[in-house]
Structure 1
Amino acid sequence: MTADEAHALSTLPAEALLARAAAIRDEAFGIVQSWSPKVFIPLTQLCRDLCHYCTFSRPRAGQRAYMTPEEVLAVAREGAAAGCTEALFTLGDKPELRFAAARRELAAMGHATTIDYLEAMCRLVLTETGLIPHVNAGVMTRGEMARLKTVSGSQGLMLETIADRLGAKGGPHYRSPDKVPAARLTATALAGELDIPFTSGILIGIGETRAERIEALLAIRDLHARHGHIQEVIVQNFRAKPRTPMADADEPTLDELLWSIAAARLILPRGISLQAPPNLADAAFPRLMEAGINDWGGISPVTPDHVNPERPWPAVDKLRAATEAAGRRLVARLPAYPAFLAAPWQEDGPRRALLAQADAHGMARADRWSPGQPLPPQPAPAKGNVSPRIERIVARATAGQEIAGEEIEALFAARGADVEHICRSADALRRAVNGDEVTFVVNRNINYTNICAYKCSFCAFSKGRGAESLRGAPYDLDLAEVARRADEAVARGGTEVCMQGGIHPSYTGETYLGLLGAVKAAQPDLHIHAFSPLEVRHGAESLGLPLDAYLARLKAAGLGSLPGTAAEILDDEVRTVICPDKLDTAQWLETIEAAHRVGLRTTATIMFGHVDGPQHWARHLIATRDLQRRTGGFTEFVPLPFVPMEAPMGLKGESRRGPTFREVRLMHAVARLALHPHLTSIQVSWVKLGAAGVKACLNGGANDLGGTLMDESISRAAGAAHGQELPPQEMEALIRSIGRTPRQRTTLYGKVAPAIRAMGRAAAPLTPVVLTPPRKRKERAAEDA
């Protein structure tokens, strides 16, 4: 929109703008209506400015000029306990330049300026509570803004108006030097030069004209065009307050507010979030959505709106009801919007705090749960209308049509009633394909070494030789111990051993053949499900063999199938971050396809919830589907939620805290829909999710519980707390508790003889394992000989 076109809006009524503004909003933000759960921290309510409409800034006899650190921290902790993510620091401009009391208090606390003290309080809140500061501190210098960037996720400064005349005598900004438009525009430009995610906005109804509002919006647009840093614009309506010079001034009508919001949506770039405070619109606040807002701003369950204390925020339940009634989904966000969560927009401290609070879409996590931990009670399923687009995509998928990447991403973006529709539909499809049986296998994990030459940032299990910084000491099992565990597995009713380990620098292709030989010599009929594609490639390369030739040797030596692990995310954009020295996407797919070609079935896995996102999940599912269409070699798809507690990137704050439970449910359900009809078994991990999580996913598209495991060590090393074994009788009880029929299977989904099933239910306790300390392979070979 040109400036002339923008100014032409001033002659149009609100009704002429609303529909187009709402349509533009929908194109940019879909049906998501965001808000920020926050605490309001008025660090000081003194200010050198004398705005004629303000009651926030007012000297109060007998009260401190500044909140104490203890008071700040108490408010922040209360907010953190209530589920807030934002600490909104709002304060007057440079009160020390006007008030002696402010200067005295600052000096007593060891600070020269208000900004010095603000920086210290932001750091205190960030480090002690994890809340991310958003700073509204008025007009600042470049240096001050740069310092605050290190301790805040975002900053803001309302432009309010472009009209200098409002600062003349008798105007609302008279004797308010920090409200000079040029000063505020300069500060906003500095924020852009410093890559600070920024909030700006206009205040309507203080004497400006429509033309002046348009000029202000154009000025904000121009600054964003240069720097790309304006994450949101607020259109705020003036409300007259008692005991102010403007107590009797006329307030803008609702129609004028709607016109101003719609004009802002039409003038501003589409990616800028548009906000209007709901508490300033009274009971008419739902109508603000008609004008194109996509955000309600910060709302606190703990503190009042200290700028407008006479107008409380609407309760979140009321906000949600109004949002849903308009066909939109209320979603909590962070102080920095999704596009502004990483460098250069964030310094390390705020970036890590934001990442810890973020879901896969960069919005605020809807729960504090992480995979591997007990699942807290879940809210009742959301009700309401299902989005037409979600209905169409789900209908196509259940009819057996392959859905495209953008459609899969749309399913992963589902919220509220849309999530329930996806999960119900996936479950109905599961019932049609698999019936009401839930399958599982009695198996034993044998992780023969935790020594690994690779340094994957998600792995808490593998370690370099001699490294004991993570859980457990390094080990490298004797073949006799491998054979003993295979014997015990069979004695306890097991039909499979699953063998995987780290990439030991001394291992060769012969090592893996030796492992197979040890198991087959002990238990010739035991199915061996072993070796990730990374191990297979390592073995083949060490012997100078093509993949097909080496896989054929493994098969001849007794390998029955491969676990499709080491997949993580089949997208090199993610792999270069979490496992840069590991095999890439093409190599993983090539290895799996080679296995299928020589007659070895495999599983397919995805390890999600770290630095990945829905676009990567969609690519992973499509790659899996395409390969399955060609070969039919996958037995099941296994979503593996990332367990962050002891993972290196989790400990360093370089990842999210695993997927949210909404994302876990969607991964199982969307996989059922996106892989249909090519891959028919979806497995859920009891190790990652526990009984409650397993039940939810079995009711949302999954049909398989995987293995009893006997010796689970990889997830436990990462911090999972759900145990190392789920015996078959407990598997069956869990399955029956949701009205489904359990069926013990073999690795390849065959039947298990009744006598073997009985052995599993009468199994003796596991004997202690022996973790053989690492020795050189040559020494081990000599001893074995």
Structure 2
Amino acid sequence: MTQTSLSDPSMAADDAALRRHLLDAALPDLMDRAEALCRSGHGRIVSYSRKVFIPLTQLCRDLCHYCTFSRVPGRGQKAYLTPDEVLAIAREGQRAGCTEALFTLGEKPELRHGVARDELARLGHDSTLSYLTAMCDLVLKQTGLLPHVNAGTMEADEMAALRRVSVSQGLMLETISDRLGEKGGPHYRSPDKVPARRLETIRLAGELSVPFTSGILIGIGETRAERIDALLALRDLHRRYGHIQEIIVQNFRAKPRTPMAGHPEPDMDDLLWTIAVARLILGPDMNIQAPPNLSSADYPRLLTAGINDWGGISPVTPDHVNPEAPWPAIERLRAATATQGRLLVPRLPVYPAYALDSARWQEPSLASLVRQGMDGEGFARDDDWCPGSTVTPRVRPPAPGLEPDAGIAALLDRAVAGEMLGEAEITRLFATRDVEVEQVCTAADNLRRMVNGDTVTYVVNRNINYTNICTYKCGFCAFSKGSTEDHLRGKPYDLDQGEVLRRVAEAATRGATEVCLQGGIHPHYTGDTYLTLARAIRAASPDMHIHAFSALEVSQGAATLGLPVRDFLARLKAAGLSTLPGTAAEVLDDEIRDVICPDKLSTTEWLEVIGTAHELGLPTTATIMFGHVDHPRHWARHLIRIRDLQRRTGGFTEFVPLPFVHMEAPMALRGRTRKGPTFREVRLMHAVARLVLHPLIANIQLSWVKLGPAGAHIVLDGGVNDLGGTLMDESISRAAGTRHGQEMPPEAMEDLILAAGRTPRQRTTLYGPVDAATQALGRGAAPLAPLVLTAPRKQDNKRPPAEQVRKESVCHAE
């Protein structure tokens, strides 16, 4: 029987044959195939959840013969943690960087213990599950930790109530053997350990779309055949509902002062056999966990049998179920995982597949918290940095002894050689972690050195956003305003021509060689508005480079004049336009555009406008605004589309990754986005862009406004050769919530570049030299005069034709 056939649905019907095969196969053979199957589904990643353990009550109506978690209430002892005690534990976990609040409790103690009933009444509840629901809600609202609950067997209404306040739930099947509940068995006098009852709870979780954890407990008297039957039962439920996100294979540990204190424990080979069998039955995609603290120093060997998860690891609370077995410290766990060539990655209580589909698997309010806590692949964010924040980003050194990946090395060699990588290969580069990230960034930086040397360029420029009024709203944009939206950040404005020209003249006196003009899609602007603006600037400042008008503004302007885009671009060029910004691109994939800007230019339309500009001799930049509802496959598609257009036209001057700033973005405020990309993702976006776009685009630029000086310093070492513009007036990112200022003058630019061990050079927009006299104007420049934000003016003209043709939205949350 082949490795794949063991998890093939066509073979599952013959479970008897499968059972015989698994019972007869040699352990090394089972382990080899299980590990290979695990690698095919999860690669090198081994996950864990950073949790705080909240034992709400240790009373239980069951009398399992191996359990020390359950206890008999003593005189004067409380039956339940109080709300204050629950919050104290949760807040300690919050301070330690936990993402999960694991609520563990005995089953329905009020059905056995009067003290439980009395205390629940004093707390204002009639059941343990009612109190649990309230405490989950309390922790959610006060700390933002994501509750995962192990609440025992439940009815559908109880589970549904908990679903509203927890992101996932769990119940160990333990065994499918009824005989273990007979007199003398470990589950005697434990009514909630009846296998049929537990299977029904797990089934109900499937009906309710609850991400669910289950598993088996081995070594309590069951046979290997019964273990297989239990795993097959779980497999069948998962095939029906798709809700079992994790299977735990837990080995029995004998504990003092229990009826099974002298019972033999399963040895390592028995545990390895069971893990391998679980993997072969459940297939490559299932998450299979074995607790590391129950296998002493041998636990890294568990990775060779097919697990891909270590379970919940707490930096602050003990394992209350197995208090004699402390969890390994997370850094020690990381190093141990590396000994098997694997990468330790934090996850949320919900695994990536369920986090990425949170609209199905969580209540809306919880789905928002899951999105905010995850990265682009659905794992947990690995630090508290986000674009625009003042938190200093950090880069952890690779796990000691962890070797780079040979497959990644082969992809990097091909990219450096100028080969065109495909979508799956680029997506793989974006998925790198730990030592692999350094592998990618080092390759990108070596390529940067080969192409650009050690020079880092920048341009002295001024941003002029001539209006923030926009008829339509993109979900990511905090800059645009309606004409009467004074309550939003900043008042609506519409600069008159005199104020625009004043800013251009002031920029020239401060050494600027470029003005960058962009604005909202004002309901009364026409193509003539843009033409008039370009002509006025060109007449007033003949030597100033006019970098203006996104693809969206060009499309809108052409539509209002009834012109083809090509003809309108030609008129703009004749009026003085020099280059176009590559904004309004966001992510060039309509799967994403349909969510964040459904009324905006489609991917094809954006590429057509920009491609036409290139054909007319108007170079442009290329951008990506990433880290909101997008994922690595979308980034790969974006890069491929930029690369393909550059191969045809050669018109892109640089590629500029723009990390999404979430703080004031409407979609983020409604809980529909992530908190921007993680810093790992930011580093990879710049590095992968360098590699994928080579040799077609030579310049990779970072956005210091979004990264801050500390982030820029780090990202410079991953393939970047340009710091962009000094900006003078930055308003779009600041409207979104970034806290990194509105100008970085030449002196600060050069200090940052020198601190990174590189050589600064001021450039023009098209990467030409800047004369010494102009450079001198930018040094020690006078402060900017106060801005005049011209209030919206009454318009007598009718709305432009574009309003009647199609709705467009502002493009400049970038």
Specify if TM > 0.5. Answer: yes
> Would the aligned equivalents of 2:392 and 2:711 in 1 still touch at CA under 8 Å?
no
Match of 1:27 among 40, 62, 75: 40
1:256 to 270, 280, 284: 270
**Aligned-pair identity (%):** 66
Give a deviation string over 1:289-332, Cα, whole Å, max 9, x none.
01100000000001000000010011111111111111110000
Q: TM-score, with normalisation over the residues of structure 2?
A: 0.95
Unaligned runs of 5+ in 1: none
Aligned pair 1:358/2:374, yes or no?
A: yes
Deviation larger for 53-62 or 252-261? 53-62
Query: Is the counterpart of residue 206 in structure 1 residue 211 in structure 2?
Result: no
SS at match of 1:698: helix
Instruction: State the secondary structure of the residue aligned to 1:51.
Output: coil
* Partner of residue 4, structure 1: 16
Alignment of 1:593-742 (within 5 A): 593-742=611-760
Equivalent residue in structure 1 for 2:307, among 293, 311, 319: 293
Matching residue of 2:802? none
Q: Is the 8 A contact 1:375 1:690 kept in 2?
A: no
> Of the candidates 427, 452, 455, which is equivalent to residue 445 of structure 2?
427
How big is the shift at 1:577? Answer: 1.1
Question: Among 261, 279, 286, which residue is 1:272 paired with?
Answer: 286
Quick check: 1:33–1:330 contact (8 Å CA) kept in 2?
yes
Instruction: Give the equivalent residue in structure 2 for 1:332.
Output: 346
Could you tell me whether the CA contact under 8 Å between 2:524 and 2:797 is conserved in 1?
Answer: no
- Quick one: which of 348, 372, 376 aligns to 2:388? 372
The answer to whether the 8 Å contact 1:375/1:693 transfers is no
* 1:549 counterpart = 2:549: no
* 1:138 matches 2:130: no
Q: Contact conserved, 1:43 with 1:90, CA < 8 A, in 2?
A: yes
Aligned to 2:578, the other structure's residue is in SS state strand
- 1:555-570 aligned at under 5 Å gives the runs 555-570=573-588
Q: CA offset at residue 779 of structure 1?
A: 8.5
Q: How does 1:433-444 map to 2 (within 5 A)?
A: 433-444=451-462
Query: In structure 2, what residue type is equivalent to 1:363?
Result: F
Deviation at 1:762, TM superposition (A): 3.6
For 2:18 and 2:125, locate their aligned partners in 1 and report how far apart those are by CA, in whole Å: 46
Contact 2:251 / 2:271 at 8 angstroms: preserved in 1? yes
For residues 502-549 of structure 1, give each alpha carbon's deviation from its aligned partner in whole angstroms, at most 9, with x where no partner exists.
Answer: 001111101111111221222111110001111100000111100100
Q: Which residue is 2:532 aligned to?
A: 514
Q: Does 1:459 align with 2:477?
A: yes
SS of 2:579's equivalent in the other structure is strand
Q: TM-score, normalised on structure 1?
A: 0.98
Contact 2:210 2:361 in 1 (8 A): yes
SS in structure 2 at match of 1:127: helix
Distance 1:634 1:246 in 2: 72
What is the rounded CA distance, in whole Å, between the counterparts of 2:233 and 2:284 in structure 1?
Answer: 16
Q: How does 1:751-766 map to 2 (within 5 A)?
A: 751-766=769-784
Query: d(CA) in 1 for partners of 2:798 and 2:347?
Result: 56
Moved over 3 A (4+): 777-781
Contact preservation (8 Å) 2:476, 2:667: yes
Deviations 1:432-466 (A, max 9, x none): 00111111111000000000112111111111121
Q: Find the aligned partners of 2:165 and 2:554 in 1 and give their Cα distance.
A: 47
User: Residue 208 of structure 2 corresponds to which residue in structure 1?
Assistant: 194
Separation in structure 2 between the aligned mates of residue 199 and residue 380 of structure 1, nearest angstrom: 31
Distance 2:576 2:624 in 1: 26
* Partner secondary structure for residue 259 of structure 1: helix
1:2-53: CA deviation from partner (whole Å, max 9, x where unpaired)? 3124312123332221010000000000000000000111111111111111
Deviation at 1:377, TM superposition (A): 5.4
Q: Deviations over 1:567-612 (max 9, x none)?
A: 1111111111111111111111111001111110000000011111
CA shift for structure 1 position 706: 0.5
What is the distance in 1 between the residues matched to 2:536 and 2:123? Answer: 71
Q: What is the root-mean-square deviation in Å for CA atoms of aligned residues?
A: 1.2
Secondary structure of the equivalent of 1:409? helix
> Which of 127, 152, 162 is residue 166 of structure 2 equivalent to?
152
Answer yes or no: is 1:577 the counterpart of 2:595: yes
The CA deviation string for residues 326-348 of structure 1, in whole angstroms up to 9 with x for no partner, is 11100000000111121211111
- Pick one of 103, 110, 116 that aligns with 1:96: 110
- Cα distance in 1 for partners of 2:69, 2:333 equals 25
Give the Cα–Cα distance (whole angstroms) in 1 for the partners of residues 711 and 395 of structure 2: 13
TM superposition shift of 1:217: 0.3
SS in 1 for 2:371: helix
Instruction: List runs of 5+ in structure 2 lacking aligned partners.
Output: 1-5, 7-11, 800-814
Say if 1:635 and 1:780 are closer, same or farther in 2 by CA, change over 3 A.
same
C-alpha distance after superposition, 1:416-436 (max 9, x if no partner): 111011111100000000111
Moved more, 679-688 or 728-737: 728-737
Deviation at 1:380, TM superposition (A): 4.2
Shift of 1:356: 1.1
1:208 & 1:774 partners in 2: Cα distance?
78
The answer as to whether partners of 2:468 and 2:492 remain within 8 angstroms in 1 is yes
Do 1:6 and 1:214's aligned partners in 2 also have CA atoms closer than 8 Å?
A: no
Name the counterpart of 2:336: 322
Match in the other structure for 2:811: none
- Structure 1 residue 239: deviation in Å? 0.4
Query: Which moves more between the two structures, 203-212 or 647-656?
Result: 647-656
Question: Contact 1:193–1:227 at 8 Å: present in 2 too?
Answer: yes
Q: State the one-letter code of the partner of 1:768.
A: P
Q: 1:226 and 1:188 mapped to 2: Cα distance? A: 12
Match of 1:174 among 188, 204, 207: 188
Partner Cα separation in structure 1 for residue 471 and residue 629 of structure 2: 23
Superposed CA offset, 1:647-685 (max 9, x none): 112222211111111111010000000100111100011
The match for 2:551 among 503, 526, 533 is: 533
- Post-superposition Cα deviations, 1:68-101, rounded to whole Å, max 9, x if no partner, equal 0101111111101101000111111111111111
